[in-house]
Structure 1
Amino acid sequence: MHRFKELEIWKKSRIFCKDIYKITADFPEVEKFGLVNQLRRASISVPSNIAEGASRESPKEFSRFLEIAMGSCYEIETQILISNDPGLIEAKNLETLQAELESIIKMISKFRSIVKSRV
């Protein structure tokens, strides 16, 4: 069992979630129940699954929740690229989000390898 609040991937994914909220606040009202909702839910899913996995007794279960968090990261990546197509995200914001997301993906992947080795 891990103390999720001490995990850097949890901290970083929470900050990323806040960034998603800031950027989607500028999306048009018509996207409120579309891309805004999807992006926010997927971004919330990342730290939430890390926290839930940390509460599990077995490394195998924790690894599974990290896998789900990783899937949410790829969902977010797809959604920000789709948001960029009609110009809903500025190029500089897109680059920043992609860099942050890539860093989180790498951290989750590395941490998941460590957790899986304890099975």
Structure 2
Amino acid sequence: MHKFSFEKLDVWIESKELTKSIYNLTLSFPDSEKFGLVSQLRRASVSICSNIAEGTSRISDKDKAHFISMSYSSTMEVLNQLILSYELEYISETNYSNCRNRINSITNKLNSLRNYILKDKN
């Protein structure tokens, strides 16, 4: 089966795995958060990998870098929501730490990818 360029990127693979983890984690959230943190966490996490995928299809490097920046912003949104979820005791310290470690890896890769796209092109 043919793979598109974004499917070969480690950062996309990691962000997709984070999204699946977020979906599983939020299954145990209180019902009262169904339209709150659950929805926000899921949408923001999907946005990380979706923006990577969409960005790779853009023609200009400026557009590609813009979508990687949007992906980074969505990653920060997920982190913020995970902090709140942890402080509200919806997730364990272990799950919080695991997600935070994944986010550190993803943001480092996003920064590297953005820098690579824009290298010597400004």
**TM (normalized to structure 2)?**
0.94
Paired with 2:120 and 2:15, the residues of 1 have a C-alpha distance of 24
Paired with 2:84 and 2:56, the residues of 1 have a C-alpha distance of 32
Paired with 2:61 and 2:88, the residues of 1 have a C-alpha distance of 42
Paired with 1:43 and 1:28, the residues of 2 have a C-alpha distance of 19
1:15 is matched by which residue type in structure 2? E
Paired with 2:42 and 2:11, the residues of 1 have a C-alpha distance of 18
Contact 1:47/1:69 (8 A) holds in 2: yes
Structure 1 residues 1-119: aligned runs within 5 Å: 3-117=5-119, 119=121
Q: Which secondary structure state, in structure 1, belongs to the residue aligned with residue 58 of structure 2?
A: coil
Structure 1 gap segments, 5+ residues each: none
Paired with 1:68 and 1:20, the residues of 2 have a C-alpha distance of 19
| Equivalent residues, number | 118
Which ranges of 4 or more aligned residues in structure 1 deviate by more than 3 Å?
Answer: none
RMSD over aligned CA atoms reads 1.0
Paired with 2:90 and 2:97, the residues of 1 have a C-alpha distance of 13
Paired with 2:102 and 2:30, the residues of 1 have a C-alpha distance of 24
Q: CA deviation at 1:86?
A: 1.4
Provide closer, same or farther for how the CA distance between residues 40 and 118 of structure 1 changes in structure 2, counting only shifts above 3 A.
farther
Structure 2 gap segments, 5+ residues each: none
Provide closer, same or farther for how the CA distance between residues 31 and 3 of structure 1 changes in structure 2, counting only shifts above 3 A.
same
Q: CA deviation at 1:118?
A: 5.2
Q: Render the CA deviation track for 1:59-118: whole Å, top value 9, x for unaligned.
A: 110000000000000001100001111100101000000000110000000111000115
